[in-house]
């Protein structure tokens, strides 16, 4: 007798598969909601959502996650009714489906943590079961140029899907695939053809049919793929393993049984070349392990460089092959850099996937706040390290919540101000310099009331956006008189600041115009683990700073340093460095770190940019540029503002990673409190 099935062995694979289908479900729901706003039907998206939920249900049953099965079953029943109604899913049904997806997500999180699975919410089960969808609405007549046996196998919603595609200017096609031994030997089967066709268009249905026997070949099964596509016939024929002549266009028939004159004609469209993409699902922990081993190699390479440099310096010209050894180490450095880039690419996720959940989030916020908000997302092709993406997403959520609750006005107020009733909310991002991501969250709302913020904080009215940002990120500050279910507890912006600046070592900026709107700009590194850094000496100690944070390096000529009066309301800046025709405030980094300053000749300046202002920091000498492995400082006893982590430069001693801009902010606050 075989051993009983141990479902725990399949949990990790189940979680990955279920999360994938959960993401697909959210994407389908976003598409359904967008079409529903235009008073349209979405048979294709409803059917895709049904398939995803059905798959989640089946997978959950295999591992005994009955609570998820119960929720998915009710969602599946509701979606089947919507499919039978031609893709009609009203707004209240979308709300219920969204609650169901959240309930499934919460239980997947519980399973991933090894916690006891909570039962299915009874009120949600009742809400899903109580929704009735009218399936008697107008249906499109079955007037498509398909063989009667194929047309009979299409549901009303599938016929509607083809008719809607034709009405929208897309091509509807029947593409037949006939399996054969030769094709099977080349790895071409119906599954492979479906994958290729899905990348070129929308598969409405795949219908098997029998080919009659002939004198030369016995009867066999073939497949008719009914697709909507904008691709050219050559590309479709190549994907299906056939010829363009074998592709049959599907048109709308008139009352006389002929194709209607307004049916879209077939046009030869040019499609970009594409390579087949194969994917392997890998646990993040395995990528983390690969990165750890790479980090060890980086440290070892630094030690090797040190040893080689010392050996060459000691032996000089008497060391044979010194030049060759140096060349080998340089080559190894390049190879490690390429290896690091390859590992980091494996850890990168598209920012568009990170932001895929925000439309549903904003939808829920607008319905609960009775506001009309249109969200637009422009993520381009930007990618982000998985670890950074997981930390950054909660910050984006808080900014969106604040925008809907604080910034966007109610429809009546917007109408009185001459604005459209529907507010605009935009999330956009782009890579900068190959090492940073700049993400903006903007709205066209009322802007931030500086006087009200200052009154709440019991501080002077901020003079510019930088001072305003310093106020709004204060813990416990809120401009609402009463807390709502969205905000008002004074935690949101403080959390954003801690995530962006303290955890990710990034920058946070604000631009607000009364009556026109507010924009928050987040700048974070694409990765926070392995990066390029400058090393330098200050107060006889070695520190490092990321290269991406540095605007420029400069020699400090005493003749270019001038004394200035103390402004009094900021850190004591009594020296200004003349740099490329501009006057740049010059700080002694040793003083900001709390070390005694000792005069040193030939000092250097590291120039950083804060908003539109350049700041210079004086250090004793620069050591060079190299790759470093950043280790975060998570112990509260050793966490200091301005110190973002530690690293090992190969000498076995910990070296601190600095953010001098945060050191200036800390010194400024200390001076304000002292006065």
At 429-454, the pLDDT tens digits run: 988 766 788 999 999 999 888 888 88
Residue 258 or residue 75, greater confidence: 75
Bigger pLDDT: 319 or 106? 106
Q: Which helix (H) or strand (E) holds 376?
A: strand 373-378
Q: Which residues contact 54 (CB under 8 A, 6 or more apart)?
A: 72, 76
DSSP letter for 266, please. Answer: P
Q: Which helix (H) or strand (E) holds 151?
A: helix 148-151
Region 590-601: what's the mean pLDDT? Answer: 83
**Would you state the pLDDT for residue 519?**
93
The hierarchical CATH code for the domain 350-525 is 3.30.565.10
| Residue-wise pLDDT tens digits, 189-247 | 888 888 888 888 888 888 888 877 654 545 577 888 888 888 888 888 888 888 887 78
301: Cβ–Cβ under 8 A, 6 or more apart, which residues? Answer: 329, 332, 333, 336, 650
pLDDT recorded at residue 2: 40
Say how far apart CA 74 and CA 86 lie, in whole Å: 19
> Sign (positive/negative) of CA torsion 333, 336, 337, 338?
positive
Q: How would you classify residue 275: left for phi > 0, otherwise alpha for psi between -120 and 50, otherwise beta? A: beta
Q: What is the mean pLDDT of the chain?
A: 79
Given 2.40.50.180, 3.40.309.10, 3.50.50.60, 1.20.120.520, which CATH number is that of 530-674? 2.40.50.180
pLDDT at 619 over 90: yes
Q: Is the pLDDT of residue 272 over 50?
A: no
What pLDDT is attached to residue 635? 63
Q: What percent of the chain has pLDDT over 70?
A: 82
- pLDDT confidence of residue 536: 93
The pTM assigned to this predicted structure is: 0.62
Cα-Cα-Cα-Cα dihedral sign, residues 495, 500, 505, 508: negative
Residue that wins the pLDDT comparison between 258 and 452? 452
pLDDT tens, 118-130? 899 999 998 988 8
Q: How far is CA 649 from the centre of its chain?
A: 32
CATH topology of domain 148-250: Alpha-Beta Plaits (3.30.70)
Q: What is the pLDDT of residue 39?
A: 67
pLDDT at 490: 43
576 in Cβ contact with 586 (< 8 Å): yes
**pLDDT at position 372, please?**
87
DSSP states of 76-132: HHHHHHHHHTTS---HHHHHHHHHHHHHHHHHHHHHHTTPPPPPPPHHHHHHHHH--
pLDDT at 477: 66
Encode burial over 462-501: b for 16+ CB neighbours within 10 A, e otherwise: beebeebbbbbbbeebbbeeeeeebbbebebbbebbebbb
pLDDT higher than threshold 80 for residue 263: no
* Strands of 201-211's sheet in order across: 201-211, 220-229, 171-177, 248-250
For 356-380, the pLDDT digits (tens) are 888 888 888 888 888 888 899 998 8
Task: Average the pLDDT over each of 57-61, 92-96, 210-214, 604-608 and give the range with the smallest value.
Answer: 210-214
More confident call, 529 vs 384: 384
Predicted local confidence at residue 142, as pLDDT: 46
For the chain, domain boundaries: 7-130, 148-250, 350-525, 530-674
Alpha carbon distance 46, 42 (integer Å): 6
Lowest mean pLDDT among 130-134, 162-166, 552-556: 162-166
Per-residue pLDDT tens for 314-345? Answer: 766 555 666 777 788 888 888 887 887 788 78
pLDDT beyond 60 at 483: no
Q: How confident is the model at residue 492 (pLDDT cuts 50, 70, 90)?
A: low
Which of residues 324 and 479 earns the better pLDDT score?
Answer: 324
Q: Please state which CATH class domain 7-130 belongs to.
A: mainly alpha
| Alpha helix (H) residue ranges in 417-519 | 450-457, 465-472, 492-497
């Amino acid at each position: 007798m075989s051993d009983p099935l141990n479902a725990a062995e399949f949990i990790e694979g189940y979680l990955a598969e279920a999360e994938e289908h959960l993401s697909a479900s959210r994407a389908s729901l976003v598409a359904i909601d967008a079409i529903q706003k235009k008073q349209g039907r979405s048979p294709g998206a409803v059917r895709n959502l049904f398939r995803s939920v059905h798959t989640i249900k089946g997978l959950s049953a295999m591992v005994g996650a009955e609570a998820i099965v119960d929720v998915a079953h009710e969602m599946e029943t509701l979606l089947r009714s919507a499919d039978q109604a031609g893709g009609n899913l009203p707004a209240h049904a979308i709300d219920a489906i969204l609650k169901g997806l959240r309930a499934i997500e919460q239980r997947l999180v519980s399973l991933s943590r090894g916690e006891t699975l909570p039962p299915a919410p009874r009120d949600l089960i009742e809400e899903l079961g109580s929704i009735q969808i009218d399936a008697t609405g107008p249906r499109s007549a079955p007037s498509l140029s398909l063989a009667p046996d194929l047309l009979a196998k299409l549901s009303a919603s599938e016929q509607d899907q083809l008719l809607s595609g034709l009405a929208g200017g897309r091509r509807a096609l029947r593409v037949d695939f006939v399996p054969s031994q030769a094709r099977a030997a080349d790895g071409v089967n119906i599954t492979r053809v479906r994958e290729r066709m899905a990348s070129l268009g929308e598969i409405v249905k795949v219908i098997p049919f029998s080919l009659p026997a002939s004198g030369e070949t016995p009867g066999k099964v073939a497949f008719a793929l009914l697709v909507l596509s904008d691709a050219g016939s050559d590309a479709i024929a190549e994907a299906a393993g056939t010829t363009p002549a074998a592709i049959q266009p599907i048109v709308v028939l008139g009352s006389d049984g002929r194709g209607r004159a307004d049916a879209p004609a077939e046009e030869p469209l040019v499609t970009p070349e594409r390579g087949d993409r194969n994917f392997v699902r890998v646990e993040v922990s395995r990528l983390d392990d690969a990165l750890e081993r790479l980090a060890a190699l980086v440290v070892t390479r630094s030690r090797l460089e040190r040893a080689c440099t010392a050996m060459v310096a000691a032996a000089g010209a008497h060391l044979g092959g010194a030049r060759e050894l140096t060349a080998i180490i340089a080559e190894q450095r390049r190879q490690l850099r390429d290896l690091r880039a390859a590992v980091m690419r494996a850890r990168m996720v598209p920012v568009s996937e990170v932001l895929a959940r925000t439309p549903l989030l904003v939808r829920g916020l607008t319905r609960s706040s009775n506001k009309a908000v249109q969200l637009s997302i422009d993520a381009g092709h930007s990618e982000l390290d998985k670890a950074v993406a997981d930390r950054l997403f909660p910050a984006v959520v808080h900014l969106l919540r604040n925008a809907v609750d604080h910034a966007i006005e109610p429809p009546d107020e917007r109408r009185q101000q001459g604005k459209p009733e529907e507010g605009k909310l935009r999330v956009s991002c782009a890579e900068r310099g190959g090492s940073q991501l700049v993400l903006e969250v903007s709205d066209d709302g009322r802007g931030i009331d500086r006087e009200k913020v200052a009154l709440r904080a019991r501080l002077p009215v901020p003079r510019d956006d930088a001072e305003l940002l310093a106020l709004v990120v204060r813990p416990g500050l809120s401009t609402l008189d009463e807390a709502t279910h969205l905000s008002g507890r004074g935690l949101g912006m403080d959390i954003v600041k801690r995530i962006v600046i303290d955890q990710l070592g990034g920058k946070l900026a604000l631009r607000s115009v009364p009556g026109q709107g507010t924009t928050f700009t987040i700048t974070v590194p694409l990765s926070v683990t392995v990066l390029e850094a400058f090393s330098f000496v200050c107060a006889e100690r070695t520190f490092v700073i990321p290269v991406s944070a540095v605007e420029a390096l400069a020699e400090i000529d005493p003749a270019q340093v001038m004394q200035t009066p103390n402004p009094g309301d900021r850190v004591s800046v009594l020296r200004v460095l003349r740099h490329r025709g501009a006057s740049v405030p010059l700080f002694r980094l040793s003083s900001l770190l709390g070390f005694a300053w000792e005069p040193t000749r030939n000092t250097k300046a590291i120039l950083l940019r804060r908003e539109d202002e350049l700041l210079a920091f004086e250090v004793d000498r620069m050591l060079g540029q190299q790759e470093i492995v950043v280790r975060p400082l998570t112990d509260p006893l050793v966490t200091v503002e301005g110190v973002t982590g530690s690293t090992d430069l190969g000498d076995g001693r910990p070296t601190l990673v600095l953010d001098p801009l945060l050191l200036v902010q800390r010194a400024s606050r200390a001076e304000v409190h002292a006065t």
